[in-house]
Amino acid sequence: MNVRSQISMVFHLDKCIGCHTCSIACKNIWTDRKGTEYMWWNNVETKPGTGFPTDWEDQEKYHGGWELHDGKLRLKSTGKAKTLFNIYHNPSMPTMDDYYEPWTYDYQHLFTAPAGDDQPTARPKSMVTGELINIEAGPNWDDDLGGSPIYAANDPNLKGLSHDTQQQLMAVERLVFFYFPRICNHCLNPSCVASCPSGALYKRGEDGIVLVDQTRCRGWRACVAACPYKKMFFNWDTGKSEKCILCFPRLETGQAPACFHSCVGRIRYLGVLLYDASRIEEVASLPSDKLIEGQRSLILDPNDPEVIAAARENGVHESVIESAQKSPVYRFVKDWKLALPPHLEYRTMPMLFYVPPMSPVMSNRTNGAIDHVSDDLFHDIEDARVPMKFLANLFGAGEEGPLRYALRKQKAVRWYRRFKTVGDVDEKTAMRMLSEADCSPEEAEAIYELTSLCTFDDRFVIPPMHREEAIQMMEDPLEHKKSVGFGFLSGPKRGM
Amino acid sequence: MRSAWTLRIGLLAAITCACLGTPAATQAQVPADFFRQNCSMCHTVGGGHLIGPDLEGVTKRKDRAWLIKFLQSPKAVIDSGDPYAAQLLQDAHGLVMPNIGGMTPDLASALLDVIEGAPGPAKSELAGVAISDRPFTPSDIALGEQLFRGEQRLANGGPACVSCHTLGTIGGLGGGRLGPDLTQVFDRLGGRKGLGAWLSAPPTQTMQSVFRNHALQPDEILSLLAVIDDASNHSQPANMSSLAKFVLFGFGGMLVGLALLQLAWRGRFRSVRRTIVRAQVRGEQ
């Protein structure tokens, strides 16, 4: 057992209102520089939809992530020989159009336009070339099902759904969508790190944050092709790749990442997970129907004395172990099994988990009254507007079982709370639902509290980062004591 | 530092002097060597007509003053309408004898002395290179082709002909294009004897500088003559200029190359969003 710690995340999709506040918070802090205009380290997608970049989930086109070859893992996009062969032109590179060409407007024209019969307009102008352009796409072009016959109809997660089901999904009276906010998953088996020819990408030992060393990056962009979530971005100005850094400077000072902090729906949870690093390869190579269970088995119980001992032996700080014991992520993922990883079939072992959304209740109109009660208390889970198969393609590596379990438990908790507060559900029904959904009343209360009444400190259990100890592993902080005074990491610039 | 600079300047000066000194040494050559290097490719003394006439007894055919004038500038004499000069031009198939650099009246006179055979080396030395008269055999042609292509090195280390010249259908893409096409050169430079003499001491500036220290051997010249003769006999008038062929071949090669690239990278990423949008728009129409 090789116990390590990872700062991990849960996004509760049932609470997401799709306001994009997270994207803006991130944009304003990290990607408002030249060359990063098109990057959205955090973005919010509408599902069904093709997302950003367009159709990123279709790995037949983008060749991201890992695949099993004779039982062994290998990168879909590249390999040692392929890297050499394709080093000057990676054939799996998304084009700018698949993201979108970032633009601003020619505002100056409003002031400088000569007098005329019409109001002057500020025409869109590319932020890359500076030329006037026609806007064809944007980072959330299909927001709220905009252009759904084109974009939503091409959602790769619709694969495996019958034609009728697909048609119903688009039918006006059944129309449904939910939001899917995305950041870097800080995977356990990151394909971006594996693909880098320069060795510039690394996963931080103490908290599992995946980072790009900007001095070692040579701009080969193998990571851009290899990341199946397309959360690696190439800065065309600096010629280096960039990605979500999980706001590590904020984490190191005890603050939640900007997108977490600003979340209006309070959908985001952050906490430490302890995991067994020695089994990552074995689990990532499992057949796809065993992946979800496999990944859960990687995550270790922070209260297990054996795990605690192994963690201590591995240099995990006591305060981090304590933090892991309070982690809301552990409860969602392991205790309650409510949160599921996105597209685990890419085999990167993402460490960001999603609580699947409840879709609107299917109701029948009888005698002018809307009725949605059936003998089968979970009927609207099976008949939900969002087909189970669609959610399974997105969060269950194609398996419906884990999705059904999570949705039934959520519904049981709702009915249990209706029995408690509204009183229109009798106790017998509520208890029956809880037991059918594998949930005790205490667990239901806990889920309810962490979902609805959670405070800032409940949602974000940020461990003390102990950067100074992490640095000591690499270099001796006292090495230069008494030998230099005030100084600079790199020489001061002179002249202009 | 100062001494290093002195050394550098000294070296530079020495090299410059060496360079300037070389032509001065050439000018001081004896007339017989001058003849071998500058005249023997077109003229013999008692060896028969090449491109130019055999010079044996030339001082008896024309007087010395006329000859010295002609040597200094053959073209001027021909242009002046001199009937004898006109006759010479006709005998040489219209090939005007070039002006020879450094031809002073003294040098011309000394050359005539050599031709008359007064002092100096034996006349036979000026009779031209002795190349066998036997008929060309297939093995001569084969050897010549090897020499031409450079498959067999020239004995004195000269570069293979193919590096600058092309000949008939030799090589898939022909030879080099720096020098002229040699397919028809056999007749142009006076057949076996004339071309043989030419090859024994190539007169053009480029050839001279290349072969001055790497002269061809008589048996090599024979083999090369054989293959050049063979090429001129077998060459058919091309119905497409070689340049057009070259362009076509290049274009075809490019197409094949692109096809191979397409095959190698057929799984490459192509635009996703535009493809989706266009397919949808087309479907609606």
- The residue of chain A with its CA nearest to that of B280 is A150
Token code pair at residue B237: 């008038």
Task: Give the whole-angstrom CA distance, residue A409 versus residue A358.
Answer: 11
Q: Residue B266: pLDDT band by 50, 70, 90 thresholds?
A: confident
pLDDT at residue number B28: 41
- Looking at chain B from residue 216 to 255, which residues have their Cβ under 8 Å from any Cβ of chain A? none
- By the CB < 8 Å criterion, does B81 face chain A? no
- Provide, as residue numbers in chain B, all residues whose Cβ is less than 8 Å from the Cβ of A88: none
> B230, B211, B232, B214: which is closest to B222 by C-alpha?
B230
Query: Of B209, B234, B259, which one is at a domain's C-terminal end?
Result: B234
Residue B107 lies in a domain: yes
Chain segment A197-215, per-residue pLDDT in tens? 999 999 998 899 999 999 9
Task: Give the whole-angstrom CA distance, residue A209 versus residue A188.
Answer: 10
CB contact under 8 A, B276 and A92: no
Same-domain check for residues B142 and B120? no
Residue B58 lies in a domain: yes
pLDDT at residue number B22: 46
pLDDT at A45 over 90: yes
pLDDT at residue number B171: 67
Same-domain check for residues B158 and B215? yes
Q: Residue B209: pLDDT band by 50, 70, 90 thresholds?
A: confident
Instruction: Compute the average pLDDT of residues A65-80.
Output: 91
pLDDT at residue number B178: 86
pLDDT at residue number A484: 63
Q: Is A437 exposed, middle or buried (0-12, 13-18, 19+ CB in 10 A)?
A: buried
Task: Give the whole-angstrom CA distance, residue A344 versus residue A284.
Answer: 9
Task: Give the whole-angstrom CA distance, residue A122 versus residue A111.
Answer: 10
- The beta-carbon neighbor of A93 closest among B269, B274, B280 is B269
- By the CB < 8 Å criterion, does B272 face chain A? yes
Three-class SS of residue B98? coil
| Residue with the larger pLDDT of the pair B194 and B238 | B194
Residue B230 lies in a domain: yes
pLDDT at residue number B7: 59
> A185, A127, A175: which is closest to A9 by C-alpha?
A185
pLDDT at residue number B18: 54
Q: What whole-number percentage of chain B has pLDDT above 90?
A: 10
| Residue with the larger pLDDT of the pair B198 and A402 | A402
Print the domain residue range for B225.
138-234
- The beta-carbon neighbor of A149 closest among B271, B272, B280 is B280
- Provide, as residue numbers in chain B, all residues whose Cβ is less than 8 Å from the Cβ of A49: none
Same-domain check for residues B26 and B106? yes
Report yes or no: B40 and B200 within 8 Å, Cβ to Cβ.
Answer: yes
Q: Residue B247: pLDDT band by 50, 70, 90 thresholds?
A: very high
To test the contact with chain B by mutation, choose from A62, A95, A170, A224 the residue with the greatest count of B C-beta atoms within 10 A, namely A95
Give the orientation angle of helix B218-234 with respect to helix B138-149, to 10 degrees. 100
Residue B100 lies in a domain: yes
pLDDT at A244 over 90: yes
The C-alpha of A199 sits at a distance from chain B's nearest C-alpha, in angstroms, of 24
| Residue with the larger pLDDT of the pair B13 and A142 | A142
pLDDT at A230 over 60: yes
Same-domain check for residues B24 and B122? yes
CB contact under 8 A, A98 and B276: no
Task: Give the whole-angstrom CA distance, residue B10 versus residue A393.
Answer: 82
> A352, A358, A383, A386: which is closest to A155 by C-alpha?
A386
pLDDT at B196 over 90: no
pLDDT at residue number B112: 83
Residue B104 lies in a domain: yes
At A485, which amino acid appears?
G
Same-domain check for residues B276 and B199? no
pLDDT at residue number A280: 96
- Max distance between CA atoms of chain A, in angstroms, equals 88
CB contact under 8 A, A91 and B274: no
- Least confidently predicted of A99-108, A182-191, A242-251, B210-219: B210-219
Chain segment A254-279, per-residue pLDDT in tens? 999 999 999 999 999 999 999 999 99
> A349, A209, A346: which is closest to A293 by C-alpha?
A349
The label of the residue with tokens 């198939």 reads B93
CB contact under 8 A, B272 and A94: yes
> B191, B25, B15: which is closest to B102 by C-alpha?
B25
DSSP string across A356-416: PPPPPPP-EEETTEEE---SSTTHHHHT-SS-HHHHHHHHSTT-SHHHHHHHHHHHHHHHH
pLDDT at residue number B26: 44
Three-class SS of residue B138? helix
- By the CB < 8 Å criterion, does B285 face chain A? no
Q: Residue B257: pLDDT band by 50, 70, 90 thresholds?
A: very high
Residue B90 lies in a domain: yes
Strand partners, A8: A271
- Least confidently predicted of A431-445, A452-466, B262-276: B262-276
Three-class SS of residue B96? coil
> B180, B164, B184: which is closest to B236 by C-alpha?
B184
The C-alpha of B280 sits at a distance from chain A's nearest C-alpha, in angstroms, of 6
Close Cβ partners of A170 (under 8 Å, ≥ 6 residues apart)? A148, A149, A152, A153
Task: Give the whole-angstrom CA distance, residue A379 versus residue A411.
Answer: 11
Close Cβ partners of B35 (under 8 Å, ≥ 6 residues apart)? B111, B114, B115, B126
Same-domain check for residues B167 and B144? yes
- The beta-carbon neighbor of A94 closest among B265, B269, B277 is B269
Same-domain check for residues B191 and B115? no
CB contact under 8 A, B271 and A62: no
Same-domain check for residues B111 and B43? yes
Task: Give the whole-angstrom CA distance, residue A226 versus residue A68.
Answer: 15
- Within chain B, where are the H helices? 2-27, 31-38, 58-61, 64-72, 74-79, 83-91, 105-116, 138-149, 185-188, 191-200, 205-211, 218-234, 242-264, 273-284
- The beta-carbon neighbor of B265 closest among A55, A91, A137 is A91
At B23, which amino acid appears?
P
Q: Is A483 exposed, middle or buried (0-12, 13-18, 19+ CB in 10 A)?
A: exposed
Report yes or no: A446 and A331 within 8 Å, Cβ to Cβ.
Answer: yes
Token code pair at residue A459: 């949602």
- Provide, as residue numbers in chain A, all residues whose Cβ is less than 8 Å from the Cβ of B277: 136, 150
Three-class SS of residue A298? helix
Q: What whole-number percentage of chain A has pLDDT above 70?
A: 94
- Provide, as residue numbers in chain B, all residues whose Cβ is less than 8 Å from the Cβ of A93: 269
| Residue with the larger pLDDT of the pair B116 and A485 | B116
> A55, A388, A409, A360: which is closest to A178 by C-alpha?
A360
Q: Residue B25: pLDDT band by 50, 70, 90 thresholds?
A: very low
| Residue with the larger pLDDT of the pair B143 and B90 | B143
> A349, A359, A360: which is closest to A390 by C-alpha?
A359
CB contact under 8 A, A153 and B272: no
Report yes or no: B221 and B196 within 8 Å, Cβ to Cβ.
Answer: yes
Residue B10 lies in a domain: no
CB contact under 8 A, B280 and A61: no
pLDDT at residue number A460: 97
A161: left (phi over 0), alpha (psi -120 to 50) or beta: beta
- The beta-carbon neighbor of A98 closest among B267, B268, B271 is B271
Task: Give the whole-angstrom CA distance, residue A347 versus residue A403.
Answer: 18
pLDDT at residue number B20: 54
| Average of per-residue pLDDT values in chain A | 90
Residues of A with a Cβ under 8 Å from any B Cβ are 50, 53-55, 58, 61-63, 91-95, 97-98, 136-137, 149-151, 153-154, 225
Same-domain check for residues B171 and B265? no
Residue B229 lies in a domain: yes
CB contact under 8 A, B271 and A92: no
| Average of per-residue pLDDT values in chain B | 79
Same-domain check for residues B80 and B25? yes
pLDDT at residue number B21: 47
> A230, A213, A191: which is closest to A77 by C-alpha?
A191
Same-domain check for residues B27 and B101? yes
How many domains would you assign to chain B?
3
- Least confidently predicted of A8-12, A37-41, A77-81: A77-81
pTM above 0.80, yes or no: no
The C-alpha of B260 sits at a distance from chain A's nearest C-alpha, in angstroms, of 15
- Least confidently predicted of A443-452, B40-49, B264-273: B40-49
User: Which value does ipTM take for this structure?
Assistant: 0.78
Token code pair at residue A417: 């709370």
CB contact under 8 A, A50 and B276: yes
CB contact under 8 A, B276 and A154: yes
CB contact under 8 A, A150 and B280: yes
Same-domain check for residues B150 and B197? yes
CB contact under 8 A, A61 and B268: no
pLDDT at B120 over 80: no
| Cα angle A393-A267-A47, degrees, rounded to a multiple of 5 | 35
Instruction: Compute the average pLDDT of residues A357-378.
Output: 67
- By the CB < 8 Å criterion, does B265 face chain A? yes
To test the contact with chain A by mutation, choose from B270, B271, B272 the residue with the greatest count of A C-beta atoms within 10 A, namely B272
N-term to C-term CA, chain B: 83
pLDDT at A345 over 80: yes
Instruction: Compute the average pLDDT of residues B106-116.
Output: 82
CATH number of the domain at B161, please: 1.10.760.10
Task: Give the whole-angstrom CA distance, residue B10 versus residue A189.
Answer: 68
Report yes or no: A203 and A351 within 8 Å, Cβ to Cβ.
Answer: no
CB contact under 8 A, B273 and A98: yes
Q: Taking the alpha carbons of A180, A232, A210, A487 in that order, is the dihedral positive or negative?
A: negative
> B131, B261, B273: which is closest to A88 by C-alpha?
B261
Token code pair at residue A124: 């869109």
Report yes or no: A77 and A222 within 8 Å, Cβ to Cβ.
Answer: yes
Task: Give the whole-angstrom CA distance, residue B6 versus residue B53.
Answer: 56
CB contact under 8 A, B273 and A137: yes
